[in-house]
Amino acid sequence: MYAITEKEIDINGSIITTFSRYVSSCNILEVEAGTNGYMGGDSGHGSRTYFRIKNVAGTDIEARLIGSDGTDGIEVYLGGDSELGTIITALKFITKVLEDGATEAND
């Protein structure tokens, strides 16, 4: 089993609970994700979603912002078999956290 850490963070004035864990193989990633769920509209209604993937040890990873001002998206590149396995596990964890936190506005 693996340890999961819970904390609260402020994303643009909205407090969300995040969950993080380490994903280990020949490389180690730390992954963190959270959301405060649906809030009934666009960003102005306060819904926030967050995720972070961090190299802790030995990960061949690169990331790039897309667009002239960096707000059109992100690209992530990983090299190696171990990195493929750990990113799959990390993305599954992110998906689980966000699905669990995606409560309806009136829940």
Q: What is the pLDDT of residues 64-75, one digit of tens each?
A: 999 999 999 999
Supply the mean pLDDT for the chain.
93
Percentage, residues of the chain above pLDDT 90: 82
Number of C-beta neighbours around residue 53 at 10 A: 21
pTM, 2 dp:
0.90
pLDDT of residue 22: 98
Percentage, residues of the chain above pLDDT 70: 95
Q: Give the whole-angstrom CA distance, residue 107 versus residue 101.
A: 11
Res 107 pLDDT > 60: no
Residue 48 and residue 14 in contact, taking contact as beta carbons nearer than 8 Å:
yes
Q: Give the whole-angstrom CA distance, residue 56 versus residue 63.
A: 15
Q: Give the whole-angstrom CA distance, residue 61 versus residue 99.
A: 26
What backbone torsions phi and psi does residue 101 show, to the nearest 5 degrees? -90, -5
